[in-house]
Structures are given as C-alpha cells and as structure tokens.
Amino acid sequence: MRLLILGTGAMANTHATAFGGIDGVRLAGCVDIDRTRAEAFAARHGIDLVFDTLTDALSSGGFDAIANVTPDALHFRTSMEAMAAGLHVFCEKPLAVTHGDARHMTEAAAQAGLINGVNLTYRNVAALQRAREIIGQGEIGEVRHFEASYLQSWLTQPAWGDWATEEKWLWRLSSKHGSTGVLGDVGVHIFDFATYAIGSDIRTITAHLKTFPKAPGDRIGEYDLDANDSMLMTAELGSGASGVIHASRFATGHLNDLHLQVFGTHGGLEITNRGDLGSIRICSGAERETATWRDLPLSPVVTNYQRFAEAVRTGRPMKPDFATATRLQAVIDAAFEAHRVIPRTEIAS
C-alpha cells in the first residue's frame, strides 16, 4: 500500500510511525500547506514526495490510500476529493462536523467500493476489546447502567504545553477554525468507548455544553475561544441501558484518561485506558456477595492502523468505518441541538 499522509501536524507523526511499522506499507508522500513543516516531517519519516496541496498530490498519481490528518472542518472536502480519485481513506475523528456530511461520505465510499476507516484510537486498547467480549458473552448479564468519562487537563496544567500560544491547541477552542469543542474532539471517543464495549448505540440523550472564559474578550489573535470546554450528558442505549457521560479539558491531574463502568444484572466491569493495554476488573459470580473486584489479564490487540492496511490488502471492510463514525456524529449533532439556553424572560420571577 502506497500511503499519502494529508496534514503533517502532531497527530500525523503517530500515523506515520504506526503505518511505517507495518509490512507492505510504504509512506509514499505527504501534503501540507506549511512547506517547511511538511519537509521536516518527510525527512523524519523517510518520505520522498512533498506536496503543497492535495490536488497536486492526487494529480501526480502513485498512491493507493490516504491518511487524513487534517483539522476536523477539512475532513469532508479532502476525503471526498481523495475518494473521487479512487483512494482508500483512513480519516481522523470526528469524520465530519455534521451528520449530513458524514452520511454523504459514507455513501460515497460505499458507491465507490473503497475501504474506509476512522481512527477511533481507543479501539486499540486491549481492555476495551476484552470488555466487549465479556459483555457480549453475557458474563455480567443484561446491562442496565453505565458511567463514562474522558478527562483531559490541557487548559489547566503545563504538561501539555502552552495552549494560549500554540496553534495545535488554539484551533481546538475556535469553532471558526473547525472545532466542535470537547464534544467532537474527545466526546466522540468516550461515546465509542461506551457503546462499543456494551454493544449498543445511543438512542436518546440530554446534554449540557459549557464554554468557560479563558482570555480577555474570549479571543487570542485570530482565534475566537467559543468552542465548548465541558460536556455533560445522560443517555439511553438501544438495548435500554441508561447512563451518564461527561468530558472536560479542565480535569487537573488527568492527562488523557478514559473511564467506563458497566453494571449488569449479574455483575459489573470497570475499564480504563491506563497503561499500554488499559485495565479491566470485574465483580461477578460469588464476588458479588462481598463486593470484591478482580483484575483481569490482558494481551495486545490489533490496531486501527493494522486493520486499515489489512483491509486495503485483502479488499475486506474494516471497523471502525465511516458508518460507525456517522452514527457517532448523529449523537454529536443531537447534543448541540439538545443544549438550549433558557431566555431570562422565561425564568424571570
């Protein structure tokens, strides 16, 4: 597979390292409007061809697939352009900024017969895969309740760098620059983490989104700091299970932590992404009498990057695909619609 990497920012390095370590994959080219950054990226990863635009790269030919690592707002246009040129597409999340665009991308990929995948990175966590097996086999009975969270802290502690001066963080705070806030940036991950483990999609929600003041006039340079920083949600799944989901960028002490608790009629599970494999523990069977939790062993699992490369090689579809991300995008859109500020005139005494 001759792979073109579109976008050469921080996350692109993860893509290049992962794909570069897979037999049969060649990093054949990269694209970025910042030529200096692209050339440095190419040198770091042994890439020969550097392009200023996607159009130029596609016109040159010589590529089988593309890793789309552009900002969220560009995913739709660039993925559609790549698919029109016959390339298989592996796209960063969220797939698009609206459900309509995501659905259009899914339909276009299906009509063209192209392999399509979305980098919901926590599918790579062994604990999540083990949880899906356990729940699917009925070991904790029918799921009744769940609690899920994704906690980050890059707005409160310097371990992430200086968000107020670095472009890679500022664009995530600005809807004008394509950000859908913490809801689209990491909310999509915790939605997938919970629904994939339980094996049922979200059907109904209530949601509250909050944007906190972070700078004078809520603006830094060209960036309007208007994207949501916090997301709180209640949800009911198609299976009937209900739960709460929340995400924040203000969770000091949590660099990048996902946490999921699932409670069924015969037991409970607790899953995190901590460590190389994540962690999982269970309370079931006789352990329920003493509320004792037991850690479960884990082994490495196949990654999204490996799934995509194998799908392109064999022609067989991969998961998570565009359709998966489209269902998640419907939840994101619904959360924006569900968040309603009550006018003062309606609550005035």
Tens-place pLDDT, residues 230-273: 999 999 999 999 999 999 999 999 999 999 999 999 999 999 99
Could you give the strand order of the β-sheet that contains 65-68, starting from the edge strand earlier in sequence?
49-51, 26-31, 2-6, 65-68, 88-91, 116-118
pLDDT at residue 349 in the model: 43
Tokens of 216: 């004078």
User: Element (H or E) spanning 294, and its range?
Assistant: strand 294-295
203 — pLDDT class (breaks 50, 70, 90): very high
The number of beta carbons lying within 10 Å of the beta carbon of residue 229 is 22
pTM of the model as a whole: 0.91
CB 208 within 8 A of CB 232: yes
pLDDT at residue 341 in the model: 59
Cα(82)–Cα(261) distance, integer angstroms: 39
Tens-place pLDDT, residues 140-170: 999 999 999 999 999 999 888 899 999 889 9
Mean pLDDT of the chain: 95
Residue percentage of the chain with pLDDT more than 90: 91
pLDDT at residue 168 in the model: 86
pLDDT at residue 160 in the model: 85
Q: Which residue is associated with the tokens 């990929």? A: 109
344 — pLDDT class (breaks 50, 70, 90): low
Residue percentage of the chain with pLDDT more than 70: 97
Q: Which residue is associated with the tokens 């246009």? A: 77
What average pLDDT does the segment 33-41 reach? 97
244: region left, alpha or beta (phi > 0 left; psi from -120 to 50 alpha): beta
CB 218 within 8 A of CB 226: yes
pLDDT at residue 65 in the model: 98
pLDDT at residue 228 in the model: 96
pLDDT at residue 338 in the model: 83
CATH superfamily to which 2-121+305-319 belongs: NAD(P)-binding Rossmann-like Domain (3.40.50.720)
Q: Does residue 19 have a pLDDT over 50?
A: yes
Rg of the chain taking only CA atoms, in angstroms: 21
Higher pLDDT, 160 or 281: 281
Give CATH for domain 126-300: 3.30.360.10
Q: Where are the domains of the chain?
A: 2-121+305-319, 126-300
Q: Does residue 37 have a pLDDT over 80?
A: yes
What average pLDDT does the segment 65-85 reach? 96
Query: Which residue stretches of 139-272 are H helix?
Result: 167-170, 181-182, 188-198
